[in-house]
């Protein structure tokens, strides 16, 4: 079997479908013509699950809210990286996440989720799910799974957990959560009547450098806007898992109508051809930039998975077990506070001052006042989102140019007087 990177240019598409075109065209169409009324009937029977598919019978194309070649081929290609049985793509990461939470949670149940999670996810959990009677309990990445289990059992909610949702590495701190340990907890809390699903937001390292299904997770979620899209020019999302789980997700997607459009599907297929090249280059660049920052006199500390070592204990063990590369996200504390962090950000030239991540160009932002502005001040400090924290997503530029840009920006930072004495 070929490796995924060898298949990204062709898998799932046959040129004879489109006049020999080597690339899959954009099927910019809302509906598909049936050859006969009988065929249309048969397609609908499968789409609505009215009967099992026959041998060699594939679901036919009906209407672009249900299926479209650009979506299906993209989904097939995404499956290869995570070795998933099936995939559903969405018009944003948030629509993939919200659809999965809606599908696998019921009123009266609790969602157990890691904190911090992406701001949009946190808002959806607290403000939207709660309106539908789904309660939530957060836990910090540094809480030991055994302590977490005891805490929930003591509080009498362990039996009401409907789903576990984790984001690892945590954004923006890079703290790791043990996916295998969380999957074991979910198994413990599952009953013959009800399975507790484990969903992992794998946007930070996936699909190349972390494969949660291998570690026992049930669902993988992506903001495909980030590494998968990779060029800061498209918003999209994906959910991967078993055929049975994704069949449920696709059914809800049909009725919410939040599938990706054909143009988005085409853009992501184009991006997938260079996914591995981009991510490997970004990780190699990040290692060099991280080493430079770790030794800089104006840097208080840096968190980068590639700098973890045995002295980091449990975090290093988790890293060894579940990550295939440190990726390209850096969390850097500049000496001083917000003023010093802002001076650094404002002085950057090649690295752009913007939220988002995983793109070909390097991006930097200030979590405390930007991506994580919605979190209460005390909570922010507790989870390590300090006023001097800057998050940098490393791109594919030449690493010497990146270091040069960061060097000149740090030179503009005036250290507070106390530090000069
Ligand atoms: C950006 C992001 C999301 C949301 O994705 P959109 O494509 O912006 O809807 C979710 N999770 C993580 C970790 C993200 O970085």
Residues 328 and 378 in one domain: yes
Question: Comparing 51 with 212, which gets the higher pLDDT?
Answer: 212
- Other Cβ atoms closer than 10 A to 1: 6
Question: Comparing 2 with 48, which gets the higher pLDDT?
Answer: 2
Residue 347 in any domain: the answer is: yes
Residues 123 and 238 in one domain: yes
Strand order in the sheet with 237-241: 86-90, 237-241, 219-223, 197-201, 161-167, 110-114, 135-139
pLDDT value at position 82? 98
Write down the H helix ranges in 87-227.
93-104, 119-123, 145-154, 179-189
Q: Please tell me if the CB atom of residue 226 comes closer than 6 angstroms to any atom of ligand 1.
A: yes
Buried b (16+ CB within 10 A) or exposed e, 144-163: eeeebbeebeeeeebeebbb
User: If pLDDT is split at 50, 70 and 90, which confidence band does 56 have?
Assistant: confident
Q: What is the pLDDT of residues 103-134, one digit of tens each?
A: 999 999 999 999 989 989 999 999 999 999 99
The three-class DSSP label of residue 411 is helix
Length of the chain counted residue by residue: 421
Atom number, ligand 1, closest to the C-alpha of residue 236: 7
Q: How many domains does the chain have?
A: 2
Residue 50 in any domain: the answer is: no
Phi and psi (nearest 5°) for 89?
Answer: -105, 150
Q: Is the pLDDT of residue 421 over 60?
A: no
204 CA from centroid of ligand 1 (Å): 9
* Whole-number average pLDDT of the chain: 95
Q: In Å, how far are 132, 219, 251 from 102, measured between CA atoms?
A: 9, 13, 12
Residue 303 in any domain: the answer is: yes
Q: Is the pLDDT of residue 174 over 80?
A: yes
Residues 223 and 288 in one domain: no
User: If pLDDT is split at 50, 70 and 90, which confidence band does 419 have?
Assistant: low
Q: Is the pLDDT of residue 142 over 90?
A: no
Residues 288 and 399 in one domain: yes
Q: What is the pLDDT of residues 265-308, one digit of tens each?
A: 999 999 999 999 999 999 999 999 999 999 999 999 999 999 99
Residues 230 and 290 in one domain: no
Name the CA dihedral angle for 350, 353, 358, 361, rounded to a multiple of 10 degrees.
Answer: -20
User: If pLDDT is split at 50, 70 and 90, which confidence band does 364 have?
Assistant: very high
Q: Identify whether the C-beta of residue 164 lies closer than 8 Å to the C-beta of residue 199.
A: yes
Q: What is the DSSP code string of 260-307?
A: PPHHHHHHHHHHHTTHHHHHHHHHHHHHHHHHHHHT-TTEEEEE-GGG
- Rounded to the nearest 10 degrees, the angle between the axes of helix 93-104 and helix 243-256 is 110
96 CA from centroid of ligand 1 (Å): 10
**Prediction pTM value:** 0.96
224 CA from centroid of ligand 1 (Å): 8
The owner of tokens 């449920």 is 248
Residues 202 and 77 in one domain: yes
To test the ligand 1 pocket, which listed residue (206, 223, 393) has its Cβ within 8 A of the most ligand atoms?
A: 223
Residue 96 in any domain: the answer is: yes
Phi and psi (nearest 5°) for 61?
Answer: -80, 130
Please identify, among 239, 272, 305, the residue that sits at the C-terminal boundary of a domain: 272
Residue 79 in any domain: the answer is: yes
The owner of tokens 């079997």 is 1
Kindly tell me the sign of the dihedral angle through the C-alpha atoms of 53, 54, 57, 63.
negative
- Other Cβ atoms closer than 10 A to 417: 7
Please identify, among 228, 250, 272, the residue that sits at the C-terminal boundary of a domain: 272
Burial environment of residue 248 by CB neighbours within 10 A (0 to 12, 13 to 18, 19 or more): middle
Residues 288 and 259 in one domain: no
Q: Is the pLDDT of residue 11 over 80?
A: yes
Residue 323 in any domain: the answer is: yes
Nearest alpha-carbon partner for 361 in 251, 250, 229? 229
Q: What is the pLDDT of residues 334-354, one digit of tens each?
A: 999 999 999 999 999 999 999
pLDDT value at position 116? 87
Residues 114 and 18 in one domain: yes
Residues 112 and 156 in one domain: yes
13 CA from centroid of ligand 1 (Å): 28
Structural domain boundaries enclosing 290: 275-411
> What CATH number should be reported for the domain holding residue 171?
3.40.640.10
- Rounded to the nearest 10 degrees, the angle between the axes of helix 262-272 and helix 69-82 is 40
Nearest-CA residue for ligand 1 atom 4 is 93
Token pair for 238 = 């994906």
248 CA from centroid of ligand 1 (Å): 22
Q: E strand or H helix at 349, and its extent?
A: none
Q: Give the mean pLDDT of 196-202.
A: 98
Residue 177 in any domain: the answer is: yes
Question: Comparing 248 with 419, which gets the higher pLDDT?
Answer: 248
Q: What is the pLDDT of residues 201-227, one digit of tens each?
A: 999 999 999 999 999 999 999 999 999
The three-class DSSP label of residue 309 is coil
Q: Give the mean pLDDT of 59-73.
A: 95
Q: What is the pLDDT of residues 306-345, one digit of tens each?
A: 999 999 999 999 999 999 999 999 999 999 999 999 999 9
19 vs 14: CA distance, rounded Å: 10
Residues 206 and 85 in one domain: yes
Phi and psi (nearest 5°) for 322?
Answer: -120, -10
Residues 119 and 268 in one domain: yes
To test the ligand 1 pocket, which listed residue (90, 118, 205) has its Cβ within 8 A of the most ligand atoms?
A: 118
Q: Give the mean pLDDT of 180-187.
A: 97
Residues 180 and 203 in one domain: yes
Atom number, ligand 1, closest to the C-alpha of residue 117: 13
pLDDT value at position 315? 95
Nearest-CA residue for ligand 1 atom 2 is 223
Nearest alpha-carbon partner for 249 in 264, 260, 238? 238
Kindly tell me the sign of the dihedral angle through the C-alpha atoms of 175, 180, 185, 189.
positive
For 298: left if phi > 0, alpha if psi spans -120 to 50, otherwise beta; the answer is alpha
Residue 421 in any domain: the answer is: no
Please identify, among 272, 287, 306, the residue that sits at the C-terminal boundary of a domain: 272
Q: State the Rg of the chain over Cα.
A: 23
> What CATH number should be reported for the domain holding residue 407?
3.90.1150.10
User: If pLDDT is split at 50, 70 and 90, which confidence band does 374 have?
Assistant: confident
73 vs 290: CA distance, rounded Å: 37
Peptide bond connecting 207 to the previous residue in cis, omega within 30 degrees of 0: yes
Phi and psi (nearest 5°) for 389?
Answer: -85, 130
Q: Please tell me if the CB atom of residue 119 comes closer than 6 angstroms to any atom of ligand 1.
A: no
pLDDT value at position 401? 98
């Amino acid at each position: 079997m070929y490796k995924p990177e060898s298949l990204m240019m062709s898998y799932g598409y046959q040129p004879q479908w489109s006049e020999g075109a080597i690339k899959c065209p954009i099927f910019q169409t809302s509906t598909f013509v049936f050859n006969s009324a009988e065929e249309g009937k048969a397609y609908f029977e499968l789409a609505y699950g009215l009967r099992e598919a026959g041998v060699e019978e594939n679901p036919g194309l009906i209407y672009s809210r249900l299926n479209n070649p650009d979506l299906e081929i993209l989904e097939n290609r995404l499956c290869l990286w995570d070795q998933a049985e099936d995939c559903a793509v969405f018009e944003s990461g948030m629509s993939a996440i919200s659809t999965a939470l809606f599908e696998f949670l019921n009123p009266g149940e609790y969602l157990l989720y890691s904190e911090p999670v992406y701001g949009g996810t946190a808002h959806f959990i607290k403000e939207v799910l709660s309106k539908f009677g789904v309660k939530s309990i957060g836990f910090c990445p540094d809480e030991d799974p055994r302590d977490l289990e005891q805490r929930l059992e003591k509080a009498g909610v362990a039996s009401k957990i409907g789903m576990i949702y984790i984001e690892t590495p945590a954004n923006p701190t890079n703290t790791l959560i043990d996916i295998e340990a969380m999957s074991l907890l979910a198994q413990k809390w599952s009953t013959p009547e009800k399975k507790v699903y484990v969903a992992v937001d794998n946007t930070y390292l996936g699909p190349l450098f972390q494969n949660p299904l291998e570690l026992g997770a049930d669902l993988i979620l992506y903001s495909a806007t980030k590494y998968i899209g990779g060029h800061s020019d498209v918003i999209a999302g994906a959910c991967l898992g078993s055929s049975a789980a994704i069949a449920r997700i696709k059914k809800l997607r049909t009725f919410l109508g939040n599938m990706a459009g054909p143009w988005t599907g085409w853009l992501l297929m184009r991006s997938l051809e260079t996914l591995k090249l981009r991510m490997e280059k970004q990780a190699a660049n990040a290692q060099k930039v991280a080493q430079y920052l770790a030794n800089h006199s104006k840097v208080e500390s840096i968190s980068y998975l590639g700098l973890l070592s045995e002295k980091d204990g449990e975090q290093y063990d988790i890293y060894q077990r579940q990550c295939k590369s440190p990726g390209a996200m850096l969390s850097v504390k500049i000496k001083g506070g917000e003023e010093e962090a802002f001076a650094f950000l404002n002085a950057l030239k090649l690295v752009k001052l913007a939220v988002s991540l995983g793109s070909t160009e390097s991006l930097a932002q200030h979590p405390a006042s930007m991506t994580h502005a919605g979190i209460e001040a005390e909570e922010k400090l507790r989870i390590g989102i300090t006023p001097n924290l800057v998050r940098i997503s490393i791109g594919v530029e030449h690493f010497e140019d990146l270091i040069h840009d960061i060097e000149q920006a740090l030179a503009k930072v005036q250290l507070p007087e106390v530090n000069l004495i």
